[in-house]
Amino acid sequence: MAVTRAGFIGLGIMGAPMAANLIKAGFEVTVWNRSPSRTQPLLDAGARAAHSPSAVAAASEVTFSCVTNSGDVEEVALGPEGVIHGAQPGSIYVDCSTISPETARKVSHELAVRRVGMLDAPVSGGDVGAIAGTLAIMVGGEASVFERCLPLLHAMGRTVVHVGPIGAGQVVKLCNQVAGGLNLLAAAEAVNLARRCGVDPAKMLEVVSAGAAASWMLSNLAPRAVKGDYAPGFMVDLMQKDLRLVLDAAGQTHTPLPGTALVSQLFQSIQAEGRGADGTQSLVDAIAKLSR
């Protein structure tokens, strides 16, 4: 039977527009957020409020979460008021956070005991993609569970790919953060070279973004930095959390990632200035400071 009732836990920069797109697609949506004030725009759009993650799960056939880190996922899924205590047998939990693959596998195992399915489905595309419903969603879990959730995932994302068993979604997201971080470093270096050589970086970006060096970072984040706009689509602190997961996985598998380690160090220099809440486009400033 088609899913009609969805839940969403975690209504931050990414979660709120993702939940809004589920409402727009016609699903009955129940929401919960640690800060209740963030639920009001979704309630105005037709969502229902729940008092806990377990209550969201009790009202939903498929419950989504998009929270900060591995510990937060364990809390909302397995904690005293977690999804596990409200989810009915046969229901599904889909976590869209970026966490360690090991945490995804642990939560899935605990939920399976209650006959609750799980997908790990981290997303990429930033706040722009979350608002537009054009996210890339990389999904790990059983194929039959994935197929059942496809209509909901397509309400939030343009590219939805089943990449393997539980935990595989998180591995692919870590790969995404490697490529994204290095693309952003390339954009930051290009902007600073243009400036140092007396060329308008906005003009440089206009033409380079249309050629072989084009990337999402070059088209979306570099122009913000050129304008001095450091509002976060994705905060430096969160990127650093993800890069720690990347480097942990690299250490466990003896995989050398020298470029990623450099990007993490440059972001650390931004954090040392107290700018961890800035958007990741602030990497342009970190490169600029090397020239001073």
Enzyme catalytic residues: 173
Distance CA 129, CA 151 (A): 17
Question: Are the C-beta atoms of 136 and 158 separated by less than 8 Å?
Answer: yes
Q: Please choose, from the candidates 109, 103, 5, the residue with its C-alpha nearest in 3D space to the C-alpha of residue 58.
A: 5
Q: Which residues touch 99 (CB under 8 Å, ≥6 apart)?
A: 69, 70, 73, 120, 122, 170, 245
Question: Are the C-beta atoms of 82 and 54 separated by less than 8 Å?
Answer: yes
Distance CA 267, CA 264 (A): 5
Furthest C-alpha separation in the chain: 64
CA–CA distance from 219 to each of 17, 187, 253, 280, 284 (Å)? 22, 9, 33, 14, 14
